[in-house]
Structure 1
Amino acid sequence: MAPDGTKDVNGRPRRIVAGIRERGQAVHELLSHGGPLGGISRDLQLDYYTVRRQARTPVVDDLLVQVTYRRTLLDDFMPYIYKRFAEGCHNVGQPDLP
């Protein structure tokens, strides 16, 4: 099974996705209590501009688009990697099956 952008090959949420969702929820919760962006930034130990970006985005999942659809050097090889993983090859040094 090929992972989508939010889950890994085992179906678990990716750490970066979980972190963005947790931070977004915390920022919006503190904003609802009337906290200033600078105070929220200090309380959560986040960069001010990160807090501002999260505060300006009403739906946290909109921020995930930038993370989940990022191009990588492995993108061209992913179909082969998923195929080999599904065949049981979980070791880089394991040779091709005949």
Structure 2
Amino acid sequence: MHKKIFLMVFLAGMVAFTVASRADPVTISSGDTIQKVLSAQTGKKVSVIIKSGEELTGTVTTVTDELTHLGELAGKEFYDAIVVNSNIAAIIVRVK
């Protein structure tokens, strides 16, 4: 009896986790810029590839015309990053 209850609770938790972990698809349109794409990801975790080849992963907190603030950097939990938008070569967003 306890095994059945545990199994039901476990499966319900897995379904809830799967639904909660889905992300919105990324869309772009004519005239979009790095700034617009990053602004659409505000509050979400992204990776940005800098033109030098370095990859930074964090939560987009603020985007201006010139700069992007990434908080909660992966692997550097006590640090944030300010990235110059014109130095960003690519943006990686989790969509599944």
TM-score by length of 1: 0.28
Higher strand share: 2
Higher helix share: 1
TM-score by length of 2: 0.28
Structure showing greater Rg = 1
